[in-house]
Chains A and B, each alone.
Chain A
Amino acid sequence: MVIDLKRNCKRNSKRQGTPGGMCLTIVAVMLGTLALFIGSVAMAQDAMAQAGASVATPLLKVDTGDTAWVLMSTALVLAMTMPGLALFYGGLVRSKNVLGTIMHSAIILCMVSLIWILFGYSLAFGPDKGGIIGGLEWIGLNGVGSEPHPTYGPTIPHQVFMLFQLMFAAITPALITGAFAERMRFSALLLFAALWSVVIYTPVAHWIWGGGWLGKMGALDFAGGAVVHISSGVSALICALVMGQRKGYGTEYMAPHNLPFTLLGTGLLWFGWFGFNAGSALGANGVAGSAFLATHTAAATAALAWMWMEWMHRGKPTVLGVASGAVAGLATVTPGAGFVGPFSAIVIGGFAGILCYFAVVWKGRMGYDDSLDVVGIHGVGGIFGILATGLFASKAINTAGADGLFFGNTAQFGIQAIMVAAVAIFSAVGTWIILRLVDAMVGLRVSPEDEATGLDLSQHNERAYS
């Protein structure tokens, strides 16, 4: 059957003039799906058996209010990827690439959704193996049922926690796509995202949240400053360096084709981020309220700070600047959201706006083409956020956390710095290897003609607007 497919593919590719490599990729993707399918059937029974068997521990009770809040938060985080991020990025590119850009977020969401329930969740949160990675005990959600897990949300069904974390796993690689916008081959994107989410995301999530070595060390990352933002921001830098600049970068006009789209995306990101941060309390409780407040305050402050900087530095406050500032504030407050008070959040947000603004301005001097500023916003914001958590965290806000430097605990700042270094180095090296691998397998970039035509027509054979 496989041989047949390959022959068909070759015939098709001849007829349509597409490179044969593309076809092989399709076959690879298909085979992967087939494997998934077989695996699923095999595991279905185990999962069922487990669901029936796990009714015996009556210690932890599901709270309807906590469950309602985390379910809602899960839906909110979905809305961050689709449509939030898809439109945020989609508005920033040229109109010939808008569908290609939206497709990146959409298809990553779909792929990671399946990877996560099949084995990703088990690798990230399954029983710890040497502080490095989760075991395979929870493959196919085996044993992940409706009973709460004692550490992963003791008042909500274990599957709710799994699902909430799924949305984090989905948005992280989607954030990276801004770095190689307008020039990546679609088949390469599929491979890259699948590999990245398994090889980079799941270990990092395990180190910090799944009982791994950084978590044991006492590293604080409430909602993903390191797991989500540093990992995606640093990987974005490597992507921009390896992929090279877009054709005509610096010489051609590459202004956003639809800024209202971008603003709509920003609004949905802000809206969804309440689920991201306040949902990370895993219950409808005081920490959730405090995280909600810190999130909102930092976003507002960062947007204002970015606007002021730009006004002073460039003469006019731009709408794109306000949108970028808000996202920078949201990314920065993420790791601290559950540990800092509202006034610390103002300081964090203020610095986020200023630092990320300069990171984006200075990008031009460095010469790499991080097309939609993932490095400047998520990388810089994430690093500053993790460090700021080591400064502003306070047990008065969250007794389960720790005090930061400003509350008399210098050691915490050191731990946070180690986390930054570990996650940044791991993401950078890992991403570089994955990119090289994918480049060798299918080629990363579209051809110069395809790039000139735009991703919409060259990769998807459709136009956004008619």
Chain B
Amino acid sequence: MPSHVSTMRKVLPVLVCMVTLTGATALYAQDAGAPAPAAPPAAASEATTAPAAPALPKIDTGDTAWLLVSTALVLAMTAPGLALFYGGMVRSKNSLGTIMQSFIILCLISIQWVLWGYSLAFGPDKGHIIGGLEWLGLNGVGLEPNADYGATVPHQAFMIFQMMFAVITPALITGAFAERMKFSSFLVFTLLWATFIYDPLAHWVWAVGGWVRNLGALDFAGGTVVHISSGISALACAIVLRQRLGYGREHMSPHNLPMTVLGASLLWFGWFGFNAGSAVASGALATSAFVVTNTATASAALAWMIAEWMYRGKPTVLGAASGAVAGLVAITPASGFVGPMSSIVIGLGAGVFCYLAVLWKSKFGYDDALDVVGIHGVGGIWGALATGLFASKAINAAGADGLFYGNPAQFGIQAMAVLISVVFAFTGTFIILKLVDGVMGLRVSEEEERMGLDLSQHDERAYS
């Protein structure tokens, strides 16, 4: 009984959060709804400009089709892709708990993004630091294209494409605290992290007026925003949550590797939407991003395999899958700026560096359970720096030349962007974790950890 009561007490804050969300939704729903029926005033104001300026952005069906399908592809990266990738790597008693984390983040952030996340990240700039609240509840984010964010697609298409990025980023972190985080604390952490880390960072790097973007930093599809931020936050999580019970002594090998490979393949598949979709149009740039994404992935998986074969004596399947994901991570910021031959080199670097990072993890003693730091952190940093080396205006005129194309300054800018993301993500995550720990505790109890998250947090078994 007492345990039930205490659980209830812990669930309460979550409930309160949810109610607040709902309340806010109800409020903003009307605001958002208002412009739609009351289109005349809005449309009228636009109509007055429309005939005057015939060059008003027009929706292109091909571009929109590609962006919509890319959005669906990125959704498939989180669930089922990441959910199965992580779900197969944990012990069977935690597989549902792990899958649930990705799945519920997909739900939670979808709502957060529509209510306030998108406005904070991409809304009208306030002092180069954060987006304004003008677009709360998608107020003013309609079907007309926004010239800054995809001139040929409905603004809402851009918004929902970005939503999938906001969703997968906190989901990536969950690999660091796998098998030991309390579900209610996890929900609160995710909501706070998305609001106070992801949204500002996305604004800095991608939004018009963001200060890192103004520096001239290149991040095509989220090397800093998605991978460095999640990878470094994962490091903070692994440090603050400490090791799993029995780490280093008990057998903790993956309970279902074919499931992990299935997840890795779906990540690869979905990543085409992630990178090639980031062109926000169908055509030459999307094509080039698609080509380098596939190439870097293949080369990273081969590099990891060879490194492991030489170092450990056998090439493992988990290694090839991890290598592929490392390659995908590393090419992400560069995908719209580099050519196919450069992507081979970026992939090779990713395979080798991330393999070494994962190998050396044990020397540092932190328990990054599913190697988020080694793959997303290290891969993301390598990718962001490599963009400063290999970027070329011959590939994307809107980009910049990198060091190897005669512009050493770009490498400095990239290094600065890396440093900014690392410092911000680490301190921010550390503070949020301490806060949540103080209020409700981060870890499950020892008995619950031994029992596994499936039974202790969700009262169900994965396999019977």
Say if the beta carbon of B315 comes within 8 Å of chain A: yes
A62-99 vs B, Cβ < 8 Å mask (1 yes, 0 no)? 11111111011011001100110011001000000011
Q: Does A103 make an interface contact (CB < 8 A)?
A: yes
Annotate B200-222 by CB proximity to A: 1 below 8 A, 0 otherwise.
Answer: 00000000000000000000000
Known: A18-B313, A87-B258, A114-B299. A64 touches B287 (CB 8 A): no
Query: How many Å lie between the Cα of A103 and that of B317 in the bound state?
Result: 6
Q: Does B353 contact A (CB under 8 A)?
A: no
Kindly report which residue of chain B lies nearest to residue A87, judged by CB atoms. B262
Partner of B265, one of A72, A82, A284, A466: A82
Query: Of B91, B276, B320, which contacts A103 at CB under 8 A?
Result: B320
Contact of B261 among A68, A86, A461 (CB under 8 A): A86
Q: Tell me the chain B residues, 284-324 only, with Cβ under 8 Å from chain A.
A: 284, 286-288, 290-291, 294-295, 297-299, 301-303, 305-306, 309-310, 312-318, 320-321, 324
Question: Which of B61-69, B234-242, B366-374 is the contact stretch?
Answer: B61-69
Query: Nearest Cβ distance between residue A15 and chain B, in whole angstroms?
Result: 8
Q: Is the CB of B265 within 8 A of A83?
A: yes
Cα–Cα, bound, A12→B308 (Å): 13
B258 CB contacts on chain A under 8 angstroms:
87, 90, 98-99, 102, 258, 261, 464
Q: Is the CB of B395 within 8 A of A51?
A: yes
Tell whether B344 is near chain A: CB-to-CB under 8 Å. Answer: yes
- Is B281 on the interface with A (CB-CB < 8 A)? yes
Which residues of the other chain, A, contact B266 by a CB distance below 8 angstroms? Answer: 79, 83
B442 part of interface (Cβ distance < 8 Å): no
Is A222 an interface residue when CB atoms closer than 8 A count as contact? no
B17 located at the interface, meaning its Cβ lies under 8 Å from any Cβ of chain A in the complex: no
Q: Are A65 and B262 in contact (CB under 8 A)?
A: no
Provide the residues of chain B in CB contact with A44, threshold 8 Å.
Answer: 339, 341-342
Q: Which residue of A lies closest to B404 (CB)?
A: A44
Also in contact, A78 and B309, with CB within 8 A (given A71-B276, A98-B258, A465-B255): no
**A167: nearest residue on chain B (CB-CB)?**
B294
Instruction: Answer whether residue B110 sits at the interface, using C-beta atoms and an 8 A cutoff.
Output: no
- For residue A156, which residues in chain B have a CB less than 8 angstroms away from its CB? 287
Say whether, besides A16-B313, A82-B268, A86-B265, A159 and B287 are in contact (CB < 8 Å).
yes
With A66-B62, A102-B261, A460-B316: A110-B342 Cβ-Cβ less than 8 Å: no
Cross-chain contact B341 with A466 (CB below 8 angstroms): no
Q: Evaluate contact between A107 and B341: CB separation under 8 angstroms.
A: no
* Given A71-B272, A163-B291, A65:B345 Cβ within 8 A: no
- The 8 A CB mask of A248-267 against B (1 = contact, 0 = none) is 00000000001001001000
Contacts of A245 in B (CB 8 A): none
For the complex formed, measure the closest distance between the CB of A165 and the CB atoms of chain B, giving whole angstroms: 12
Contact check: which of B257, B269, B284, B339 meets A75 at CB < 8 Å? B269
Residues of chain B within 8 A (CB-CB) of A425 are none
CB of A17 to closest CB in B, whole Å: 9
Q: Is the interface of B mostly helix, strand, loop or mixed?
A: helix
Question: Are B269's CB and A466's CB within 8 A?
Answer: no
Q: How far is the CA of A79 from the CA of B270 in the complex (A)?
A: 10
Assess the B345–A41 pair: CB atoms within 8 A.
Answer: yes
B313 interface neighbour in A67, A113, A461, Cβ under 8 Å: A461
Contact check, A460 vs B290: say whether CB atoms are below 8 A apart.
Answer: no
Cβ contact within 8 Å between B339 and A114: no
A239 in the interface (beta carbon within 8 A): no
> B73 an interface residue at 8 Å Cβ cutoff?
yes
Q: Does A319 contact B (CB under 8 A)?
A: no
Which residues of the partner chain A approach B62 to less than 8 Å between Cβ atoms? 63-68, 284
A160→B287 contact, CB < 8 A: yes
Chain B residues whose CB sits within 8 angstroms of the CB of A67 once the complex forms? 62, 66, 282-283, 286-287
The CA-CA distance from A48 to B406 in the complex, in Å, is 14
Which B residues are in CB contact (< 8 Å) with A462? 253, 257, 314, 316-318
Q: Is the CB of B318 within 8 A of A166?
A: no
Q: Is A242 an interface residue (CB 8 A)?
A: no
With contact pairs A99-B317, A107-B320, A114-B299 given, residues A83 and B287 touching in the complex (Cβ less than 8 Å):
no
- Cα distance A459–B266 in the bound complex, in angstroms: 25
**Per-residue contact bits, chain A 159-187, to B (CB 8 Å; 1 contact, 0 not):** 11011001000000000000000000010
CB-based contact A47/B339 at 8 Å: yes
A410 at the A/B interface (Cβ < 8 Å)?
A: no
Tell me, in angstroms, the Cα distance from A113 to B310 when the chains sit together.
Answer: 22
| Interface pair B306/A68, CB less than 8 Å apart | no
Q: In the bound complex, what is the Cα–Cα distance between A8 and B281 (angstroms)?
A: 50
Interface centre among A62, A68, A75, A258 (most CB of B within 10 A): A68
Q: Are A79 and B269 in contact (CB under 8 A)?
A: yes
A30 contacts B by Cβ under 8 Å: yes
- A318 interfacial by beta-carbon distance below 8 Å: no
Do B394 and A68 have beta carbons less than 8 Å apart?
Answer: no
A269 interfacial by beta-carbon distance below 8 Å: no
B297 surroundings in chain A (CB, below 8 A)? 110, 113
Cβ contacts B86-112/A at 8 Å (1 or 0 each): 000001100000000000000000000
Chain B residues within 8 Å of A72, by CB: 66, 69
Nearest CB to that of A102 among chain B residues?
B261
Q: Are A106 and B61 in contact (CB under 8 A)?
A: no
Given contacts A83-B261, A117-B295, contact A64 B315 (CB under 8 A): no
- B294 contact set on A, CB distance < 8 A: 78, 113, 163, 166
Of the listed stretches A32-40, A229-237, A438-446, name the one at the interface; the rest are far from the partner chain: A32-40
The distance in angstroms between the C-alpha atoms of A465 and B260, with both chains bound, is: 11
A163, B262: Cβ atoms under 8 Å? no
Distance between Cα atoms of A51 and B318 in the complex (Å): 37
Report the minimal beta-carbon distance from B295 to chain A, rounded to whole angstroms: 6
Chain B residues, Cβ within 8 Å of A141: 340-341
Flag if A40 contacts B291 (CB, 8 Å).
Answer: no
Which residues in B have their C-beta under 8 angstroms from that of A140? 340-341
* Complexed CA–CA distance, A320 and B314 (Å): 33
Besides A26-B309, A141-B341, 14 other CB < 8 A contacts? Answer: A30-B306, A40-B344, A41-B341, A48-B392, A51-B339, A64-B62, A64-B65, A65-B65, A65-B282, A68-B62, A107-B305, A110-B297, A163-B294, A258-B258
Give the B-binding residues of A (Cβ under 8 A): 5, 8-9, 12, 16, 18, 26, 29-30, 33, 36-37, 40-41, 43-44, 47-49, 51-52, 62-69, 71-72, 74-75, 78-79, 82-83, 86-87, 90, 98-99, 102-103, 106-107, 109-111, 113-114, 117, 140-141, 146, 156-157, 159-160, 162-163, 166, 186, 258, 261, 264, 284, 456, 459-466
Which A-B residue pairs are the 5 nearest by beta carbons? A64-B62, A65-B62, A146-B284, A113-B298, A68-B66
- Sample of 7 A–B contacts (CB below 8 Å): A26-B310, A82-B265, A87-B258, A99-B317, A110-B299, A146-B288, A459-B315
